[in-house]
Structure 1
């Protein structure tokens, strides 16, 4: 399903809607260039899961963990990883087994490691307005 978000707040709200249907072990795999709103969408996921703290991009840490909500959220940034083997080196399988949700920015970097049932979220700039985004969600039905 494709959605149009006209602001960062709308992107976060869409992330919160997706959070409502997530289950332990779900993987949300993002595609989209720099500055498209992947971290904003993840902030919405975190809020929708009940996490109230600060949510930031894990660009330099590779993964940020957010606990205290309905489910733990593990926020990955694969931009700096070379391949799926690098993901396994940082304990990917352990994260999958912890019963939380894995949100994966730059998922195309490690496509081979993602489960086949991963929820795909593609974020792109809308041609009508530079600050608008079209967000396509595959693999989940939002409320």
Structure 2
């Protein structure tokens, strides 16, 4: 099963709002792969999600730490950046499987670097240039992710233009 759609975020603010809209949904137990070249907005999108859940303060890419946890009342968001990962087996040493549970949302930048060890994506986002903004193509790989994408589209639509 694979269902897909897209959003257009006309600028950085809209990309943050797209992430925030995801935080209004029930994302528990979901793993999101964030695909796209350097500078496409994967961390900006993640910042939107994390601040949408209520985090106040800096949200930067965990390029050197590999993962940064953000704990909230009902969910823990794990923001991964695997860009500098040398070998997928390193993920086993850090106890990667413990992060994927029913009370967490895992946002994973550069998931291709963890193939063979990472949990498969429930939802995959691919960010590309679209004028001055970004085109975000999503693919849902199961019923829970499809329901999440439907709810997410409604929340983003309230915040502004949705495609």
Fold match by TM threshold 0.5: yes
Compute the RMSD of aligned alpha carbons. 1.8
- The residue aligned with 1:23 is 27
Paired residues for 1:6-85 under 5 Å: 6-68=10-72, 70-85=74-89
> Under a length normalisation based on structure 1, what TM-score does the superposition of the two structures give?
0.86
Distance 1:33 1:69, change over 3 A: farther
Distance 1:50 1:69, change over 3 A: farther
> Under a length normalisation based on structure 2, what TM-score does the superposition of the two structures give?
0.77
Shift of 1:20: 2.2
- The residue aligned with 2:134 is 133
Q: Distance in 1 between matches of 2:25 and 2:88?
A: 27
Unpaired runs of at least 5, structure 2: 141-148, 155-163
- Equivalent residues, number: 140
Q: Distance in 1 between matches of 2:77 and 2:52?
A: 11
